[in-house]
A and B are shown apart, each in its own frame.
Chain A
């Protein structure tokens, strides 16, 4: 059985996954999560367009900030038993938006800093086989020894 995304239409899976944004056909504003088309309006106050096209977002961005969850978040978060702390990052994309995601398995806040480059990956959720997008630190050549 192939794993399915935890939420439909937010990201692609495979070797080079991307987040899927929506671009307004009127003013070219890009949105993520891709909920603008379903809502039926563009949030730019100077635009009354109602149509959007799906666009893949940049796979790489820079860390705006980061943290972790050391206490188990309440439902509807689906926690593994026992709970395992995990890191979170808010990432600034070249499109000019910041997108929050969990950080890839095996990385914690000690591996992150504001301004650092990260890349989108897709991994199973903490407590299910369903897939979720995550941010993974990009390790430049020469820095690998430090990691």
Chain B
């Protein structure tokens, strides 16, 4: 895999359980940070860089999340940075930490994301903003996030013959995966009929096809090769690639929250395909090397899209893998062994970090009750609004 000079090492990971706890996001973040430091066996005083994932729903403390976490843990003089890339925030924060470590400017970086979320549809910020597409899509069209997910889902049905039962099966699978995950918010088995009898939000998606919003936090401690050696870390999990690519013009696939696409002839890869491709290229591996994937199932059908975008199967074939049980624990390529967003709900600045936490546990063989046997290579994928790619490959 990736050589020691170009990889950073995941020394520790930690999370605060996802839920609807209603407490300040800082408390969750500190909990996750302390858990990650304890997991690594590294004192807070050794941390020389804190990268916080910004939350946009929690006032000024959220805008300067790196500083907020550093102060809460007790000022120790560390450098700080704050990243915001919507759902891709965690990957961008890891990228920032990793770059400083690889440049020799940091030895121990603590990356933290935490959120406290409101109920219901994620709505735009208040005020009249006639030039903001995120405001206009609600004002002019009533186009919610689930409406975008539903459009992607409908294409799978009309083009590839997917059914609503297929989408429900993704939920069934993920609900089983997350049953014993202590950090998951929903730990209950869900049947196809539960999904199918839940209310339709946006045709063809039911309420149980769409992920909730949650409170939660996740943290990752990244260290340099030299520090890991001093710490005596044997056979650690490494970050082999971080892809935070943006689209290329013209971006001809409809992206949330836009009302339209660019005009023109599409390139060889869609934006989502390019996210994984950049990660594979950097890690020097291909989809055939992947043992386990954590992908952003904002909706059940989106999990199927991501499988194809990551090259885990050909376009239009995700449903056949699902039906054959290949993406279930014990199958050829388990997808979302954590239970995914179906079991967690989304805590925006923490979610991409949570994906990395899960893969770290998987590669260490510590994912009790949901272990992908012998996993050595894992990939994450998600996409943040306004052109933020996010894919992390970890290896051991």
Query: What residues of chain A have their CB less than 8 Å away from a CB belonging to chain B?
Result: 6-7, 29-33, 35, 38, 43-45, 64-71, 73-79, 86, 88, 90, 93, 95-102, 109, 113-115, 126, 132
Q: How far is the CA of A32 from the CA of B264 in the complex (A)?
A: 12
CB of B159 within 8 Å of the partner chain: yes
B141 and A88 contact, CB distance less than 8 A? yes
Quote the shortest CB–CB distance from B210 to chain A (angstroms).
Answer: 10
Q: How far is the CA of A79 from the CA of B139 in the complex (A)?
A: 10
Closest to A21 in B: B263
Contact among B142, B143, B264 for A29, CB-based, below 8 A:
B264
In this complex, which of A45, A67, A73, A78 has the most chain B Cβ atoms within 10 angstroms of its Cβ? A67
Number of A-B contacts (CB under 8 A): 132
Q: How far is the CA of A36 from the CA of B199 in the complex (A)?
A: 40
Closest to A78 in B: B139
Contact among B147, B158, B264 for A115, CB-based, below 8 A:
B158
Contact among B205, B253, B254, B262 for A100, CB-based, below 8 A:
B254
Residues of B within 8 A of A115 (CB): 158
Quote the shortest CB–CB distance from A86 to chain B (angstroms).
Answer: 7
CB of B75 within 8 Å of the partner chain: no
B262 and A6 contact, CB distance less than 8 A? no
Residues of A within 8 A of B21 (CB): none
A70 and B140 contact, CB distance less than 8 A? no
Residues of A within 8 A of B136 (CB): 7, 33
24 example contacts (A-B, Cβ-Cβ < 8 A) are as follows: A29-B263, A43-B262, A64-B151, A65-B154, A67-B147, A68-B203, A69-B144, A69-B202, A70-B202, A70-B203, A71-B199, A71-B202, A74-B121, A74-B123, A75-B138, A76-B124, A78-B139, A79-B142, A93-B263, A96-B263, A97-B263, A102-B141, A114-B155, A132-B140
B199 and A70 contact, CB distance less than 8 A? yes
B260 and A97 contact, CB distance less than 8 A? yes
A101 and B252 contact, CB distance less than 8 A? no
Quote the shortest CB–CB distance from A68 to chain B (angstroms).
Answer: 5
Residues of A within 8 A of B105 (CB): none
Residues of A within 8 A of B202 (CB): 67-71
Binary flags per residue of B196-226, CB closer than 8 Å to A gives 1, else 0: 0001111111000000000000000000000
**With A88-B143, A102-B141 already in contact, 20 other A-B pairs whose C-beta atoms are closer than 8 Å:** A6-B140, A29-B263, A29-B264, A35-B131, A44-B250, A45-B249, A67-B203, A68-B202, A71-B121, A74-B123, A74-B144, A76-B124, A76-B138, A76-B139, A79-B142, A96-B263, A97-B262, A102-B142, A109-B203, A132-B140
Binary flags per residue of B257-280, CB closer than 8 Å to A gives 1, else 0: 001111111000000000000000
Residues of B within 8 A of A32 (CB): 260, 263
Closest to B201 in A: A71
A101 and B141 contact, CB distance less than 8 A? yes
Quote the shortest CB–CB distance from A134 to chain B (angstroms).
Answer: 10
Quote the shortest CB–CB distance from A103 to chain B (angstroms).
Answer: 10
Binary flags per residue of B116-145, CB closer than 8 Å to A gives 1, else 0: 000011011000101101011111111110
B142 and A86 contact, CB distance less than 8 A? yes
Quote the shortest CB–CB distance from A24 to chain B (angstroms).
Answer: 10
Closest to A70 in B: B200
Quote the shortest CB–CB distance from A110 to chain B (angstroms).
Answer: 9
Q: How far is the CA of A102 from the CA of B259 in the complex (A)?
A: 11
B143 and A114 contact, CB distance less than 8 A? no
Closest to B129 in A: A76
Residues of A within 8 A of B121 (CB): 71, 73-74
Q: How far is the CA of A96 from the CA of B202 in the complex (A)?
A: 26
Closest to B137 in A: A100
A77 and B263 contact, CB distance less than 8 A? no
